[in-house]
Structure 1
């Protein structure tokens, strides 16, 4: 068995995080990485639908003034390819923070009630809500898989004006999650082959 060999459980939940139109606003967010993310997310959503596995859609309702993700803004809506697949999801969680485990309805309660122990986490932003949800999932004892190429993020400036590119931030997330034991970081193709 190779390091990346995986088994996708029959009830594995696909957690699709914050794939919202507001993230298409380059003037607001700046440069992004991984233009293939949306196509990979769509492929995973289709595979989960075809296999009857549960899909959870998570939507960020920003409380920050001027945010393109505020509920009263057009950017709050899911991107079209997600909206086209909506209605087939098993659960729709709304959150105001980075972790999908702090939303309404309660994701952890929903997973526990169904005995679901494996999560495949995808969406936007790689180093923010995806990483936070994956870390919490790992801490809570779930088997977490992150197909990194089904996520994307944006360049970010931190203390002292230090700026990291989206690619570097995604690489750091991969190391944090995989190396830190929170999740297995794989590719969409590896997950689809196992599903």
Structure 2
């Protein structure tokens, strides 16, 4: 078994019931199944799992406290032994104790999955890298929705997702696919690649 410091925590972002109710065109319809496979892999190996839950400050949001939409999807709900952090903004590190919780346990690498690719996933991955964590984002275990770009041109969910992954790749994270982790040796799935803050970006 590898030492705890070489094990990546699986960070599952915003897989709540409310995200299923939006009804917007999305990509990666198999993302939930991929997340479930990775979750089972991590649980079987005994590696750390962290669940992030978005709790909105807007009372009419599907993610408002007490609303069914704020609950985890049953298939991806945390076990009692798994850590849960609640956030109010896109970045899972902002106004939470996630960073401290990871460092105290000697965890210096993350595997990030969840929703939405260009929103909470990208924001969290950028912060993770800037804070010094070796970061991997699993492209087919994340998804997002169609939206218009800044010029008002409609973009498909695939286009939005692909640009988010392009923004991260090589600058803030290693973007991988679930098969890269599930088909590798069990040890290597939970091992992060050494990355430091800064990398090659200029600003």
TM-score where L is the length of structure 1: 0.87
Gaps of 5+ in 2: 190-203
Distance 1:122 1:77, change over 3 A: same
- 8 A contact 2:35–2:113 mirrored in 1: yes
Q: Does 1:35 align with 2:25?
A: no
- 8 A contact 1:15–1:122 mirrored in 2: yes
Q: CA RMSD in A?
A: 1.7
- Deviations for 1:67-91, whole angstroms, at most 9, x for unmatched residues? 11112211111011112x43241x1
1:185 maps to 175
Gaps of 5+ in 1: 1-8
**Matched residue pairs, number?**
182
- SS of 1:120's partner is strand
Question: C-alpha distance in 2, partners of 1:131/1:76?
Answer: 21
- Deviations for 1:113-137, whole angstroms, at most 9, x for unmatched residues? 0111110000111110011100111
Question: C-alpha distance in 1, partners of 2:150/2:176?
Answer: 30
- SS of 2:145's partner is coil
Question: C-alpha distance in 2, partners of 1:53/1:171?
Answer: 29
1:79 maps to 73
**Matching of residues 92-107 of structure 1 within 5 Å:** 92-104=84-96, 106-107=97-98
Give the structure with the larger helix fraction: 1
- SS of 2:140's partner is helix
**1:115 corresponds to which of 86, 106, 120:** 106
- 8 A contact 2:117–2:165 mirrored in 1: no
